Structure 1
Amino acid sequence: MSRPLFLLALNSLLLLSTALAAPKGVSTKVPRFPEDLKIINNIVFKEAGGRKLDLMLFQPAEKKFEKAPLVVYIHGGGWGGGDKYKVLRQDIIGVVRSLNQHGIACASIEYRLVDGKPTTANDAVADCKDAVRFLARHAAEYGLDPDRIGTFGSSAGGHLTLVTALGQEADYPCDPTISGPPVQVRCVASYYPLVSFVDRELMKGSNFERPQRLLPLLGGPLEEKRDLALKLSPIELLRPGSPPIFVAHGDADVVLNHSNALALRDAATAKGIPIECLISKGAGHGFSGDNIQPALAEIQARTVAFLLKHLE
C-alpha cells in the first residue's frame, strides 16, 4: 500500500474508533474556538455511568481580580442531547465573552444525558452540582474565587442551572469523593426553563403536555415519582435566602411556555427572593424570531449586568 493510501486508511480507522468510543448522544466533533478566548479544555471533574465527565474553562481576558469570580454554564438539549460546546451558540457565547472581558471566568460542563434507563434528571443535577463543587475545590489551581460562583443555563440547562443553585447537595446523588463544605451559589441566570415537573398548567402549550414526556426524566410516571419531581422543580426549591435569579423567556416559545418564567417570578417575589424577569416579545425558543423585543443583544447585556452585580 502506498504511503498516502496508508495514511488515509489510518485516519479513517482513528475516526471510527473515536466514534465507537463516544457515549451515545455525545458529539465527537470539536468545533472551532473563537481566537479571542482563552480556553482550557477537557478538564475531567468526575467519572460516572462508565464515562469521564469534563468541562472547558474560559479564563478572563485580563486579570482584574486576585481570584476570579466564576460563572458555570449548563447546556440545553432536552436533557437527552447536547454537549459543552453549545456554549458557542450565538445567544450564549456573547455572554461568556463579555464576562471574560470583565475579569469573570466561565466554565461549560458535560453531564450525563437522560435516557431513563437508568440515568434520570436527578443524575444530571448531581453532575452539574459536582462540576461546581470540583471547581470550588480546585479554585486555587485555576485562580478562581470559590465564594463567588454563579450558574447560567438555557432550556434544559436553564432548568438544571436553577436546581443546581437552589437545591441542597444532600438531596441529590453527588459524588462523595469530591469533598468539602457545600458550595453556596451566589446567583443564577436561566434562559427559557421548565420550572416545575408537577404543575401541569405550566406545561400547557408545549410538548410537556404529554405525561409520557416526563417518564425518562423521572425514571417512571409522575404518580410514582412525585417526591423526586418536587426535588427537580425549581419553583418548589425556592426558600427565603435563595440566591438572586435572572430569568429570560420568549412569549412565542412553543417548546416551553413563557408562563414558566412568570410563575417563577411570582413565586420568588412572594418569598422575598430578588428576581429579574425579562420576556422578549415575539421570541421563540432560543430567542429565535425576527425583530424580537428586546433583541438578543439587550438580553445578553441584561444577563451580564445581573451576573456582574452579584459577582463583582
Structure 2
Amino acid sequence: MNLLPLLLGTLAIATFLPTDARAQGGNKVEWQGQSLLDVPYKRAGGREIRMDIYQPKEDHSKAAPVLYYVHGGGWAAGSKDKGGLPLMRPVFEMVAKQGFVCVSINYRLSKNNGVLMRDCVTDAFDGLRFLTKNAERYQIDAQRIVVWGDSAGGQIAQMLALADPAKFPGDPALAGFDVRPLAGISWYGPTDFTDLELFKTDDTDKKADRFGNRIVGHARSVTSKREAYEEMSPYFWLRKNSPPLLLLQGDKDTTIPFAHAPHLKKKADEIGADLSLVVVKNAGHNWRKAGGSPEPGVKEIQKITANFAIEQVQAKPSRKTTEP
C-alpha cells in the first residue's frame, strides 16, 4: 500500500462529537447522528456484554461500512467508552464524515476470575457475528468492516483480521454468522507471545513474560502453554491472502516494545502478505512523547488511521440496503 497519500492527504473533521466528551468519566460519547448505546450482543459469565453503535448523521441509501473499535487495557481494564477519548474520537469523526457506522465494544476482562485472553478475542469475534446477523437492522454492510484497536485491542484487532473465526466459537445464538473483516488496524499491539525477546525493555519492572498468566491462567503443561501462546499470536495466523493490515508503532514504546511491529512486517514481506508499517519516532505507548515530539504527530496518526479505513472500503463496492 502506498502510504504517501495517507501521510499527505487531509480530511475535513466532522462535528459529530463534542470536544468535551469524557468517556473515562463514565459519560457516553455524544453523537449528532443516531446513538445506540449499551446494545447487548451476547451473554457470558452470567452477564450481558454490550457495544455502542454510532450511525452517521446523513441518511444513506447504501448499507454503511463499519469501523469496529476494540479498546486497550492489557486485556484486564478499559471499556468501550474509550472510543470517546480525544486520542480515538477524531478517527470516529473522520470516518463518520465518509458514511461509516462506528462501533465500540466491551469484552470480558482477564481481571475477572477465569477469563483468559482467548475469551477476549472470542467476545470480539462474537461482536462481529452480531453485526453480521443484524446487518439489515443497523443498515450496515457486514462485508465492509474494518477492525481497529490499540494495545491489547490492537492484538485483538489483528486476531480478528488474521485468525480463523471458526477456531473461536462463542455464543451459540451467533453461530453461522462468521465474517472476515475487510482490513485491520493496530496501534502498538503485540504480535507474537512466543518470542519473549520482543517484550524485553530497559524497564526492570516489566518482565518479558508479563502477559503469560492472561493467556494460560494456571496451566502448567509446557506443550499447552506453547500452543496457547501461538494461538494468541497474530504472527502465526498471518497468510499471504490475509486481509490488509496497518500497524502503527512508537519506536520508544516500553509497554509493547517497538520490535513487535517489524517482526510481523518481516514475515509479511517474506510471504507476500499485505501489511504496512508506520513507525512513529519519539513515541511511547499511547503516543506519549519520548525524547522529542512524536513524528508523525498524533493528528497525522489519526488521519493515517482514518484514511486507511476509508481507502479499504472505497475499493470494495457497497450493496443497497433493503427498503424498510
- Alignment TM class, shorter chain as reference: 0.7 to 0.9
Distance 1:218 1:105 in 2: 35
Q: How far apart, in 1, do the equivalents of 2:28 and 2:68 lie? A: 21
CA contact (8 A) 1:238 1:271 kept: no
Give the match's secondary structure for 1:53: strand
Query: Larger deviation: 203-212 or 153-162?
Result: 203-212
CA contact (8 A) 2:126 2:170 kept: yes
Q: TM-score, normalised by structure 1?
A: 0.86
Q: 1:128 to 1:296 in 2, by over 3 A?
A: same
**CA deviation after TM superposition for structure 1 residue 182, in Å:** 2.3
Q: CA deviation at 1:166?
A: 1.0
3-state SS of the aligned residue for 2:260? helix
1:35 and 1:305 map into 2 onto residues whose CA distance is 21
Quick check: 1:216 aligned with 2:208?
no
Q: Which has the higher contact order (CA 8 A, sep 6+)?
A: 2
Give the Cα separation in 2 of the matches to 1:136 and 1:32: 24
In structure 1, C-alpha distance between the alignment counterparts of 2:162 and 2:103, rounded to whole Å: 19
Say which of 304, 307, 314 aligns to 1:302. Answer: 304
CA pair 178-208 structure 1, distance change in 2 beyond 3 A: farther
User: Structure 2: 5+ residue runs without aligned partners?
Assistant: 1-22, 315-324
Structure 2: how far apart are the matches of 1:245 and 1:154?
14
Output aligned runs, 1:108-187, within 5 Å: 108-115=104-111, 117-187=113-183
Q: Where do 5+ consecutive residues of structure 1 fail to align? A: 1-26
How high is the sequence identity, in percent, across the aligned residues? 30
Give the total of aligned pairs. Answer: 286
**Equivalent residue for 1:79, pick from 58, 75, 79:** 75
3-state secondary structure, aligned to 1:310: helix
Tell me if the contact between 2:28 and 2:81 (Cα under 8 Å) persists in the aligned partners: no
CA radius of gyration, larger in: 1
More helix by share: 1
SS at match of 1:225: helix
What is the alpha-carbon distance in structure 1 between the residues aligned to residue 234 and residue 174 of structure 2? 24
CA RMSD after TM alignment = 2.0
| Equivalent residue, structure 1, for 2:286 | 286
Q: Distance in 2 between matches of 1:121 and 1:44?
A: 21
Q: Distance in 1 between matches of 2:175 and 2:213?
A: 32
In 1: Cα distance, 2:24 partner to 2:97 partner: 29
Q: Distance in 2 between matches of 1:305 and 1:87?
A: 17
1:275 maps to 275
Could you tell which deviates more after superposition, 29-38 or 168-177?
29-38
Assess if the C-alpha contact under 8 Å between 1:215 and 1:221 holds in 2.
no
Is residue 115–residue 217 contact of structure 1 (8 Å, CA) maintained in 2? no
TM-score for both structures, normalised by structure 2: 0.83
Instruction: Tell whether the 8 Å contact from 1:116 to 1:215 is kept in structure 2 after alignment.
Output: no
CA drift of 1:170 comes to 2.2
